[in-house]
Amino acid sequence: MKLWGGRFTGETNELVAKYNSSISFDSRFWREDIKGSIAHALMLGNQGIITREEADQIHKGLTDIYSDIEAGRLQIDMEAEDIHSFVESVLTERIGEAGKKLHTGRSRNDQVALDMRMYSRNCAKEVAKLLKKLQTTIFTLIKENTETYMPGFTHLQKAQPVTLSHHLGAYFEMFERDRSRLKDAYNRMNFSPLGSGALAGTTYPLDREMAAHTLDFAGPTENSMDGVSDRDYLIELLSAFSTIMMHLSRFSEEIIIWNTNEYRFVEIDDAYSTGSSIMPQKKNPDIAELVRGKTGRVYGSLMTMLTVLKGLPLAYNKDLQEDKEAFFDAYDTVTDSITLFDGMLSTIHFNKEVMAQSARNGFTNATDAADYLVTHGIPFRDAHGIIGRLVLYCIDKQKALDDLTLEEFQSFSPAFGEDIFDAISLKTCVEKRNTIGAPGTKAIERMIEHCENCLNA
Ligand code: ARG
């Protein structure tokens, strides 16, 4: 049954009905729709706009519908126009006249705006929870790998040695910022549009504060035209989701590289990789590749929302119905991606010896060799030149700096002494770097404490 049939005499074109209908996707927030209606009905009763008996009848009717859908006793009818019409028509069928009063002082415009806020603020919480779980996995790896040496890269060229703890600590920070972005968005969006009506409020003495607080909002939205047409919060959430995917995608890219035969830094667990139908030797990092690929999809949803809103005059326009599929798809993608990435990371095997060997072979201690000369009285620019020539020599001899004899060192500069070997050992190179945020032992201790604080906050 249509909620708006009165003014019409002709039938709706079949394709129009299908094109217009939103039940196939807005049925997802049936819980929010019912909770919002209960809060509205109780407020109407409290204000004497409907009688207390009617409010109680509606309350009971809606509670029953809720538990019947939950238990599978009531199927949502996919022929209905949207979830709002479905719930209202079942209610009226079940409780009669009182059901027809539920929509007093309300429009589907503020109703859908309310449902979407309630649903999406919950999504923000869920995603933050999953991120925290992923950070916990990362934190475990951080604590286990303070002495797992590896090359740090710039330009994807070996640069200076770091530890796996330090490298993973960078991702911990990214996901910490992501969580704080979600929290910011949550606090800004947590206002109830219910009571905005179609666009211009209503003449009934609604208590918007009461309805807002019943539904755990910080308060009502301030302007009714904005209340029904604002979807900024979805842009903020989609932007936060996009940034999360971008971070996961960077991490995925590294895992894909580390998993190559050329690197062999990691081995992905069988449960999180797949094989090839033709090449028996293959074990592919599909999850990492899919996370990288699906990032584009979430960016797409953000673009959808920005574009839907850019030319919209105030207040409600049907274009706004497009917010749902875009947001739901992004939400599903981001939650699946975090969950699977977390599973992959918590079961991955790090080939620690290969990683350390890679750091040794790549002249990652060249800066430290130059610093050694500086501490022995040579100006940095000259030291840089001496070590540059030493590196060339090593490349020619296919040796690492650590493999040279003291005589070979001294043939480049008499400033070299026996202590050069200790000064450029992987362990020393890393452990000495103790500025805040660096990979040295003291700095990592500080980082671990900081991570712990983040997870306990
Ligand atoms: N399905 C609609 C949406 O998602 C609900 C609001 C309908 N309002 C209206 N004036 N037709 O936006």
- Domains of the chain are 5-104 (1.10.275.10), 109-205+214-356 (1.20.200.10), 359-456 (1.10.40.30)
Atom of ligand 1 nearest to the CA of 323: 4
What is the per-residue pLDDT for 161? 95
Task: DSSP for 90-122, please give it.
Answer: HHHHHHGGGGGGTTTT--HHHHHHHHHHHHHHH
Atom of ligand 1 nearest to the CA of 316: 10
Q: Is 192 in the pocket of ligand 1 (CB under 6 A)?
A: no
Structure tokens at 136: 């916990």
| Ligand 1 centroid from CA 27, angstroms | 13
Q: Is 22 in the pocket of ligand 1 (CB under 6 A)?
A: yes
Neighbours of 28 (CB within 10 A): 18
| Ligand 1 centroid from CA 128, angstroms | 29
What is the per-residue pLDDT for 322? 98
Neighbours of 391 (CB within 10 A): 15
What is the four-CA torsion angle of 129, 131, 132, 137, rounded to 10 degrees? 130
Q: How many angstroms separate the CA atoms of 263 and 350, rounded?
A: 11
Q: Which mutation among 109, 228, 309, 317 tests ligand 1's pocket best, with the greatest number of atoms within 8 A of CB?
A: 109
Q: Is 383 in the pocket of ligand 1 (CB under 6 A)?
A: no
Tell me the chain's radius of gyration from C-alpha atoms.
31
Which residue is closest in CA terms to ligand 1's atom 7?
108
pTM of the model: 0.95
Contacts (Cβ under 8 Å, ≥6 apart) of 132 = 179, 455
What is the per-residue pLDDT for 2? 77
Atom of ligand 1 nearest to the CA of 82: 1
What is the per-residue pLDDT for 1? 65
| Ligand 1 centroid from CA 83, angstroms | 10
Pick the catalytic residue: 24, 276, 349, 411?
Answer: 276
What is the per-residue pLDDT for 235? 98
pLDDT in tens, the chain (457 residues): 677 788 888 888 889 999 999 999 999 999 999 999 999 999 999 999 999 999 999 999 999 999 999 999 999 999 999 999 999 999 999 999 999 999 999 999 999 999 999 999 999 999 999 999 999 999 999 999 999 999 999 999 999 999 999 999 999 999 999 999 999 999 999 999 999 999 999 999 999 999 999 999 999 999 999 999 999 999 999 999 999 999 999 999 999 999 999 999 999 999 998 887 878 787 899 999 999 999 999 999 999 999 999 999 999 999 999 999 999 999 999 999 999 999 999 999 999 999 999 999 889 999 999 999 999 999 999 999 999 999 999 999 999 999 999 999 999 999 999 999 999 999 999 999 999 999 999 999 999 999 999 999 9
What is the per-residue pLDDT for 285? 95
Q: Is 316 in the pocket of ligand 1 (CB under 6 A)?
A: yes
